[in-house]
Amino acid sequence: MSDLPKSIRINEEGPREGFQFEKGPIPTGRKIELIDALSGTGLKQIQVASFVPPQNVPGWVDADDVVAGFKVNPDVSYTALWLNERGLQRALGHDDRLQLMGSVGLCCSAAFLAINQKRTMEQNFEGQRSIIKMYQANGLPVTRGSLMAAFGCNFQGDVAPATVVDMVGQLLDLAAEAGEKLEFVSLADTMAWASPLSIRRVVGAIRDRYPDLTLSLHLHDTRGMGIANVYSGLQMGVEIYDAAVAGLGGCPFAAHKGAAGNVCTEDVVFLCDEMGIETGIDLERLMQAACVAEDVVGHPLPGSVKSGGSLRVLREKLRAAH
């Protein structure tokens, strides 16, 4: 199957995911500087903070100050992450600046769930029922479903496509029994086990069972397969991708020293530009924001296009020379 979309949506997660992963303290003002730079690139959604206990993720001890400090672009939806009701209440304190929505999530790996959340699969399922009730009590619709470790797990191994299809069904059932309808389901390659072939197999299996379901991909680049997996997702018609400017971040819970961040935003935009797929993002401005990200963290980041440059500028120079 090859069903390239005419356009895609990129959800920028660099600030949230990157600053939770960096070891050294990063000044609040510099975090805000990066968010402001990203706001001027054409991105339509930026995840700007994580409302989590600082003892677990010290990089986000200043989440409230960051959310209160950036300049709001009315064309951008700003989102945040939280893991419990206390975190949600903190986010609700910024509902004039953040787009808040409910999310229900399951995990395709019992081993990862036990290590990461100290829960069994059954306990997690019941816990998601309570989370839906929490959202409903706060007047938030539950619109997003997510599956962690949808392609494989460092603690358990490969995940069969049939398992993922079954978990998608559980997500849809969880929402439906509470009177909610998910707008899309995100497949997270949490520990970078995906390959172009497994992307095609898993997405294809889900499409066979749920042909009208919108999917998104959350792809990590630990093993250098991120952009290849995006290409495979594009071939399967997937239109929503999480990405991180300059390749910021990683998964602090993956037990992998090289757990790289999400696939690099500017590399995804470059790929789409070259394929004629619209993103609405100005690649030159995005590369400038990637350089800001690298300066903020104080060390090289893995994105390629910020160093290699876009072909659009090079083509213009060559045309001008001739």
The confidence score (pLDDT) of residue 2 equals: 58
Class of domain 102-243: alpha beta
CA distance 41 to 61: 27
Please give the average pLDDT of every successive group of 10 residues along the chain, which has 322 residues: 86 94 91 98 98 92 98 98 95 98 97 92 96 97 97 96 98 98 97 96 98 97 94 98 92 52 95 97 97 95 92 91 88
Beta-carbon contacts of 9 under 8 Å, excluding residues fewer than 6 positions away, are 44, 45, 239, 240, 241, 279
Structure-derived torsion over alpha carbons of residues 158, 301, 316, 4, reported in degrees to the nearest 10: 20
CA distance 272 to 288: 18
Which entry of 107, 153, 251, 272 is annotated as an active-site residue?
Answer: 251
Write a three-state SS string for 94-140.
CCCCCCCCEEEEEECCHHHHHHHHCCCHHHHHHHHHHHHHHHHHCCC
Indicate if the alpha-carbon torsion angle 192, 99, 11, 302 is positive or negative.
negative
The confidence score (pLDDT) of residue 252 equals: 53
The confidence score (pLDDT) of residue 256 equals: 47
The confidence score (pLDDT) of residue 24 equals: 81
Phi and psi at residue 82, in whole multiples of 5°? -145, 160
Closest by CA position to 225, among listed 251, 202, 192: 192
| Residue 272 is among the residues annotated as catalytic for this protein | no
Closest by CA position to 192, among listed 227, 231, 224: 224
Question: Do 1-100+249-322 and 102-243 have matching folds?
Answer: yes
The label of the residue with tokens 């919108």 reads 214
The fold for domain 1-100+249-322 equals TIM Barrel (3.20.20)
Q: Where are the domains of the chain?
A: 1-100+249-322, 102-243
Joined together, the tokens standing for residue 59 give 């990089």
